Homo-oligomer: A and B are copies of this chain.
Amino acid sequence: MPDPRVAAVGTSPLGRTELTGRDLFSAAVAEAFADGPDPAEVVDAVYVGNQSESYEHQIMYGTLLAEWCGLRHVPAERVEGCAAAGALALRHAVEDVRSGRRDAVLACGVEKMTAGGTAGATNALSAAFDRALEQRTGVTAPSQYALLAQRYLHDTDATERDLARIAVKNHANGAANPRAQFQRETDVETVLDSDYVAPPLKLFDCAPVTDGAAVALVASEEVAAKFGTDGPAVRVAGVGAGANNIGVADRDLTFVEGAHEAAKTAYDEAGVAPADIDVAEVHDAFTSCEAMLAEAAGFAPPGRGYESALPPAERSDGWTDTHLSTSGGLKARGHPIGATGIAQAVEVYEQLTGTATPERQVDDATTGLLINEGGVADAVTVAHVLTT
Which residues of A are in contact with B by a Cβ distance under 8 Å? 20, 22, 45, 51-54, 56-60, 62-64, 66-67, 72-82, 88, 92, 95-96, 98-99, 101, 126-128, 130-132, 135, 241-247, 257-258, 261, 374-375, 379-380
Contact = CB atoms under 8 A, between A and B. Distances in A.
A99 B95 contact: yes
Contacts of A75: 241-243, 380
Contacts of A67: 245-247
A102 to B, nearest CB: 10
Contacts of A96: 95
A53 to B, nearest CB: 5
Contact of A57 (B56, B127, B257): B127
Given A53-B52, A99-B99, A79 B82 contact: no
Contacts of A81: 60, 62-63, 76-78
Contacts of A101: 95
A244 B77 CA distance: 12
A135 B243 contact: no
A257 B74 CA distance: 12
B375 A63 contact: yes
Contacts of A58: 127, 131
B99 A60 contact: no
Given A54-B54, A60-B128, A375-B63, A79 B79 contact: yes
Given A80-B78, A246-B64, A131 B88 contact: no
Contacts of A22: 132
A101 B127 CA distance: 31
Contacts of A66: 243
A113 B60 CA distance: 17
A80 B77 contact: yes
6 contacts: A52-B59, A57-B131, A59-B127, A60-B80, A63-B379, A73-B244
Contacts of A74: 243
A131 B96 CA distance: 30
A38 B113 CA distance: 40
A363 B128 CA distance: 47
The 4 closest A-B pairs by CB, nearest first: A75-B241, A78-B80, A59-B127, A63-B246
Contacts of A126: 57
A245 B375 CA distance: 32
Given A64-B130, A78-B79, A80-B80, 20 more contacts: A20-B132, A52-B53, A53-B53, A53-B54, A57-B126, A57-B127, A59-B128, A60-B80, A60-B127, A63-B246, A63-B380, A67-B246, A73-B243, A73-B257, A75-B241, A76-B380, A79-B80, A95-B95, A98-B99, A99-B99
